[in-house]
Structure 1
């Protein structure tokens, strides 16, 4: 089974390795490049806790000259992958959410009342955590920690594989990534045949963001929005392909 990974190149290696261990061939088609911003030290003035919904936010934080003064603070993260990244840069008081920013919001409402939360975010987010918390009176200070640059074209090896029907599955981790994939595929000339592709989506919202191409192709959704469950989804698809 040939699987395309669409994550930014710096985030793709773990998923690539795990999928290859299942006996699959992997192609990389990073649809976004993530660029860390310089996070100023004064952004954390009077902070009592930090929120990160992406490992990219922690990559930016790791370069901050005040990192050592921040690691004693509680850090709320969206899921296990972000929690692992937080431990790698020295945080110990980590509160791990179930995998999505929208699921982290109720936890923060319940546990972070009275805190001054510094929310490390990207330029585009799938869920407006800041507004969701502000409506509940939680003091949230957003800090733009990273930005994403969209790909303008698919890699040539992926285009050739699309043209020859050589792709069995595509992993999609966010609604934005799904929209970029749909846009780039629709722009190909001559048009390519997509009927044999299964889209492996991190959530229902990701599948919905595919738009019209999802109507003619198979879309499978991870049972939980994290890397481990996405790998399990690939494993199930690979097993069913072998059975056929």
Structure 2
């Protein structure tokens, strides 16, 4: 069974390894390219913590800045692992989505202790900093990377679709799902999706596939890689 991985690198490679461990054959075709900033202009005086909603944000910060002493408030376990790998010693994981991160920050952080900075990409869904300000925190944003959409369907994806070699397509983000939908349409291959199962990391990602006619669309129980892979296993047994 071949599975198309639309995730950006370096995450796509790790997902591919996990699929191979499950006896599946990955086809890597990133819909997005992560371009970290070389300069994140940010005055850290008065900042009590950095908030990360993706491992890409962590890696972008590590690419541009040397500071690791501040707490890293992470949306999930994978992001927290990336923060520890980058050298952050004080990491907290909300173990879920942005709503869980807001709840964790509200419970664990002191509103009077200083600003919280959301280190994010140039395109984000939701408004973490705005939600924190509404909860009484001083919060701001720092754009650390850009996720650039592919301008055409990657050759690996085109070939696999044309030859009807795929069974599943994985989507780790709304932007990857939207980019895939548009590029498949541009390539006049939308009809090839009717025999495929889409597996998405969230309901938002699934909504970005609305223009495509899939055999089925499955959504991970929680917005993380482990749940996404569990849904892959379930889709194999019950399409």
The answer as to whether partners of 1:34 and 1:148 remain within 8 angstroms in 2 is yes
Q: How many residues align?
A: 237
Question: How far off is 1:42 after superposition?
Answer: 4.2
The answer as to whether partners of 1:207 and 1:219 remain within 8 angstroms in 2 is yes
Q: Which is worse superposed, 33-42 or 132-141?
A: 33-42
Matches within 5 A, 1:42-57: 42-57=42-57
CA deviations 1:68-99 (Å, max 9, x no partner) are xxx23221001011111111122122110122
1:92 correspondence with 2:89: yes
Q: Which is worse superposed, 129-138 or 74-83?
A: 129-138
The answer as to whether partners of 2:167 and 2:195 remain within 8 angstroms in 1 is yes
The answer as to whether partners of 2:117 and 2:129 remain within 8 angstroms in 1 is no
Task: Please give the alpha-carbon distance, in whole angstroms, between the structure 2 residues aligned to 1:101 and 1:39.
Answer: 26
Aligned residue for 1:108, secondary structure, equals helix
Task: Please give the alpha-carbon distance, in whole angstroms, between the structure 2 residues aligned to 1:42 and 1:220.
Answer: 40
Q: Which runs of 5+ in 2 are unaligned?
A: none
Q: Which residue of 1 aligns with 2:35?
A: 35
Aligned residue for 2:152, secondary structure, equals coil
Structure 1's 5 and 218: CA in aligned 2 closer, same or farther, altered over 3 A?
Answer: same
CA deviations 1:191-219 (Å, max 9, x no partner) are 542211000011112111111215x4300
- RMSD over aligned Cα atoms: 1.8
Q: Which of 69, 75, 78 is residue 72 of structure 2 equivalent to? A: 75
Off by >6 Å, runs of 4+ in structure 1: none
Q: Which residue of 2 aligns with 1:227?
A: 225
The answer as to whether partners of 1:39 and 1:61 remain within 8 angstroms in 2 is no
Q: Which is worse superposed, 114-123 or 190-199?
A: 190-199
Task: Please give the alpha-carbon distance, in whole angstroms, between the structure 2 residues aligned to 1:190 and 1:228.
Answer: 30
Q: Which residue of 1 aligns with 2:62?
A: 62
The answer as to whether partners of 1:202 and 1:221 remain within 8 angstroms in 2 is yes
Task: Please give the alpha-carbon distance, in whole angstroms, between the structure 2 residues aligned to 1:65 and 1:28.
Answer: 30
The answer as to whether partners of 2:33 and 2:149 remain within 8 angstroms in 1 is yes
TM-score by length of 1: 0.90
